[in-house]
Amino acid sequence: MDVTALSMTDLADAIAHKRVSAEEAARASLDRAAKCEPALHAFLELFEREAIEQARAIDARLAKHEHPGPLAGVPIALKDNICLSWGRTTCGSRMLEHYRSPYTATAAQRLIDAGAVIIGKTNMDEFAMGSSCENSAFGPTRNPWDVSRVPGGSSGGSAAAVAAGIVPGALGSDTGGSIRQPAGFCGIVGLKPTYGRVSRYGLVAYASSLDQIGPLTRSVRDAALLMQVMAGADEHDATGSLRAMPDLLAELEEPVNRLNIGVPRFARSGTNHAAVGDSLERAAAALSADGAVVRDVDLPHAGHGIAAYYLVATAEASSNLARFDGVRYGRRAEVRAGEGLDDLYCRSRSEGFGPEVQRRIMLGTHALSSGYYDAYYNTALKARRLIRRDFETAFETCDALLLPASPGPAFRLGEKTSDPLALYLEDVYTVGVNLAGLPAVTLRAGAAMVDGRELPVGVQLVGPAWREDLLLRIARMLERSLPPVTVAAV
């Protein structure tokens, strides 16, 4: 049995029925990582000893006929901005290179309580700021389908680890598309929940009104399983919702009757790669064949999404990252004789933060500064309200919206690093969802043949707030009509 090719659901079932042990699953995952890591650099840290200890504890409980939980023995990876009480939590930054969290994030703890085995922390764009996983202070992650290309960002390490078969599932965070875009580039499933559905306690903040933790998996069912385990109210997160999470698995296989799907007109942009347009039409046709009514809809203010996002997100980043000054938190520069405190702050932050993080802090600080607050930040908040209203209007007649995950397939490493705007525009189809606080899921719908290599192309389904149950049922309908997700041969 090739453990690394199994879905999370199948692996959990195999372990529960003792067809494979949790320790065997953990060792297979670690062995796969050892094989793939020289090419991918998906991980910043692997927990070999801790993972085997966790797995043996699961096997011991199963031997006593105990049921450790729905994820018993399943190897899982965490993005390195999700706190864990062992190992380091670096956020891909020199600023936190040696930081060890004294506690575990709520979302991660709920997976552990359900029996998951945490095998490592995955690489990411520094402080989750990026769309390519090239901004990590510890080097880029590479796409398992073509190691000359990016896996997407900022959750690129988690996406690459799942696509390469190292783990059947991983956690990422999504501030403006950081789960969905890499899921599309790596040909897997990525779910961004409704804002407030999953606790942010233990997630190192980038933009607090936008950040959400979510799963990356190789199937819709596995994404639903992870969500079912980790979602729900948390006394440690004041922004978390008290709404009860419906059973996401109970009716997942039931098709949605009289389904209405809207395709935003701006999603059929002439600037999209041809394969992106083809995949969008293929997904629309598959849903139509299942009885859905697919029609064009308008999101009149979608064109303001990138500008609004990069003002709101950078303003919040400027505030959140102010704590990393080398005195209270983070890397401290070497003290020099005769140097003042301001000099120490400046050098500590200059040495600790990379170029993209510095760029976004400066953008956000400028947007919040006296004389510019109303012109920039406050205007962005007004645009955000209009974007949210557009989605609400669309959902008065639609069950979900269908659009690309990104304008094109994975691009080459270094291709866009000299042009920040080009990189920001990679998020054109994803940022609006975060501004509106909605759930959305990406899944593979096609492929692009580029330079003789087949690269995955993803589409995105967006649902009404708090309707992950409906959204995942629609995604499962679409998934049945598409080719099955396979493990990349790294």
Do 104 and 135 lie in one domain? The reply is yes
Query: Has residue 398 been placed in a domain?
Result: no
Task: Pick the more confident residue, 340 or 215.
Answer: 215
Q: What is the model's pLDDT at position 318?
A: 97
pLDDT digits (tens, 9 = 90+) for 8-34: 999 999 999 999 999 999 999 999 999
- Same domain? For 114 and 236 the reply is yes
- What is the rounded CA–CA span in Å between residue 151 and residue 409? 10
The chain-wide mean pLDDT, for the chain, equals 96
309 shares its domain with 456: no
Look up 348 and say whether it is catalytic.
no
In a domain, 59, yes or no: yes
In this prediction, residue 107 has a pLDDT band, given cuts at 50, 70 and 90, of: very high
Whether residue 130 is found in the same domain as residue 211: yes
Query: 7, 21, 29, 79: which is the annotated catalytic residue?
Result: 79
- Is residue 237 helix, strand or coil? coil
The answer, yes or no, to whether residue 1 has pLDDT greater than 90, is: no
| 167 & 234 share domain | yes
Residue among 7, 132, 136, 154 flagged as catalytic: 154
The predicted model scores a pTM of 0.97
Judged by average pLDDT, the poorest of 194-198, 251-255, 482-486 is 482-486
Task: Quote the tokens at residue 356.
Answer: 């993209």
Q: Give yes or no: residues 150 and 247 share one domain.
A: yes
178 is catalytic: yes
> 90 and 197 share a domain?
yes
Residue 291 lies in a domain: no
Q: How many CA atoms lie within 13 A of 446 on its CB side?
A: 24
Asked if 246 and 36 touch (Cβ cutoff 8 Å), the reply is no
Do the strands 212-217 and 169-174 form a parallel or antiparallel pair, or are they unpaired? antiparallel
Whether 369 is a known active-site residue: answer: no
Q: For position 375, what pLDDT does the model report?
A: 92
Q: Classify residue 358: in a domain, yes or no.
A: yes
Same domain, 366 and 446: no
**Cα of 200 vs its chain's centroid, Å:** 13
Q: Is there a contact between 343 and 337 (Cβ–Cβ < 8 Å)?
A: no
Instruction: Identify the active-site residue in 158, 178, 241, 348.
Output: 178
Instruction: Find where tokens 């009104």 sit.
Output: 209
Other CB atoms within a 10 A radius of the CB of residue 398 amount to 22
CATH code for the domain in which residue 10 is found: 3.90.1300.10
Nearest to 132 by CA among 468, 455, 413, 375: 413
For 286-319, what is each residue's pLDDT tens digit?
Answer: 999 999 999 999 999 999 999 999 999 999 999 9
The boundaries of the domain holding residue 329 are 303-381
Q: Which of 63-72, 180-189, 258-267, 327-336 has the lowest mean pLDDT?
A: 327-336
pLDDT value for 328? 82
Are 230 and 329 found together in one domain?
A: no
Angle subtended by helix axes 156-163 and 22-40, to nearest 10: 120
Q: What is the pLDDT of residues 409-458, one digit of tens each?
A: 999 999 999 898 999 999 999 999 999 999 999 999 999 999 989 999 99
**433 within domain boundaries:** yes
In terms of domains, do 357 and 470 share one? no
Instruction: Indicate whether 327 pLDDT > 90.
Output: no
**Cβ contact 80:125 at 8 Å:** no
* pLDDT at site 343: 87
Nearest to 202 by CA among 365, 73, 91, 343: 91
H or E element, residue 170: strand 169-174
Asked if the model's pLDDT at residue 334 lies above 90, the reply is: no
188 lies in some domain: yes
* Structure confidence at residue 339 (pLDDT): 83
- C-alpha span between 26 and 71 (Å, rounded): 13
Please count the structural domains in the chain.
2
Q: Determine the pLDDT at residue 371.
A: 87
292 part of a folded domain? no
Q: Are residues 307 and 233 in the same domain?
A: no
Residues 245 and 340 grouped into a single domain: no
Three-class SS state of 217: strand
Residue 247 lies in a domain: yes
